[in-house]
């Protein structure tokens, strides 16, 4: 679909409504996992015993396609979903109306910032340019994760997923991680060597705050808080 047709659809409320339904439901019936490397199945395995947990998904993209939180949502979890894309958030508002769904950037500052948009809904939209594929520069409100959590009266949560195309440390620096102390943190890190290097800003930051790099699947790192590590053996047992 070319940009002219898309712009026409986005400007027409009726067409946009049906566009959102199509974007949601054409991706709903997939295989036994939703993410590219089945990371969502591992997240579910680790956390399924917590029936009323809370997730925070930064860079949530789509309520089904690639989602690491959908299976938790299906067993009664609720949470906060944040994305740069208004279209993404509109899809979440339809699919998960009881969640808190916010279109904004998450960084280490509360201010307006510029971001780079590849398309209206795109996993590569980012506050950092990725070169020739970044087609538009737009302005958006950015907040610390602390600010968003406080504003929405979230005093604790169990699972944090971050998929922000290189802005991971900015997100983490805006979170009082010792206060909230989620059990599990997953981070998409595309650079394999950086993902495993304990000296990177992200890994060093998490290590200092008592998080242990437990696993890496595909492009996703899994970090558990050390207090939660005691329960891992039971959670990963084959039933």
Give the chain's domain count: 1
Residue 66 located in a structural domain: yes
Task: Give pLDDT tens digits for 51-60.
Answer: 889 999 999 9
> Measuring CA to CA, which residue among 121, 105, 223, 122 is closest to residue 167?
105
Residue 129 located in a structural domain: no
Residue 81 located in a structural domain: yes
H runs (alpha helix) in the chain: 3-11, 13-25, 39-47, 70-74, 86-95, 145-151, 168-173, 177-180, 192-196, 201-208, 232-235
**Exposure of 206 in the CB half-sphere (CA atoms within 13 A):** 30
Using CA atoms, how far residue 226 sits from 68, 147, 162, 171, 207, in Å, is 22, 26, 19, 21, 10
Task: Give pLDDT tens digits for 186-232.
Answer: 999 888 777 788 889 999 999 999 999 999 998 999 999 998 877 77
- Distance between CA atoms of residues 237 and 231, nearest Å: 11
Residue 133 located in a structural domain: no
What pTM was estimated for this model as a whole? 0.82
Average pLDDT estimate for 68-97: 95
Is there a contact between 203 and 169 (Cβ–Cβ < 8 Å)?
no
Residue 208 located in a structural domain: yes
Residue 114 located in a structural domain: no
Residue 188 located in a structural domain: yes
pLDDT band at 49 (very low <50, low <70, confident <90, very high): confident
Residue 102 located in a structural domain: yes
Q: Which residues constitute the domain of residue 51?
A: 32-107+144-235
CATH number at residue 90: 3.40.50.150
> Measuring CA to CA, which residue among 171, 188, 154 is closest to residue 113?
171
The pLDDT value given to residue 164: 92
């Amino acid at each position: 679909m070319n940009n002219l047709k898309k712009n026409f659809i986005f400007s027409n409320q009726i067409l946009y409504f049906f566009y959102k339904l199509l974007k949601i439901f054409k991706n709903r019936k997939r295989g036994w996992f939703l993410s590219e490397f089945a990371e969502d199945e591992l997240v579910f395995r680790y956390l399924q015993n917590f029936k009323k947990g809370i997730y925070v998904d930064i860079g949530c993209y789509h309520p089904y396609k690639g989602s690491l939180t959908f299976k938790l949502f299906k067993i009664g979890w609720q949470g906060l979903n944040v994305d740069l894309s208004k279209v993404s958030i509109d899809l979440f508002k339809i699919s998960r109306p009881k969640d808190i769904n916010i279109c904004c950037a998450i960084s280490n500052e509360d201010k307006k910032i510029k971001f780079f948009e590849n398309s209206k809904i795109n996993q590569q939209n980012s506050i950092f340019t990725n070169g020739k594929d970044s087609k538009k520069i737009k302005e958006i409100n950015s907040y610390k994760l602390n600010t968003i959590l406080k504003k929405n009266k979230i005093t604790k949560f169990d699972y944090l997923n971050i998929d922000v195309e290189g802005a991971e440390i900015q997100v983490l620096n805006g979170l009082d991680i010792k206060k909230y102390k989620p059990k599990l943190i997953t981070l998409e890190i595309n650079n394999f060597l950086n993902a495993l290097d304990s000296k990177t800003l992200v890994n060093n930051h998490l290590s200092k705050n008592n998080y242990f790099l437990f696993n890496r699947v595909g492009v996703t790192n899994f970090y558990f808080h050390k207090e939660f590590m005691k329960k891992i053996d039971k959670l990963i047992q084959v039933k």
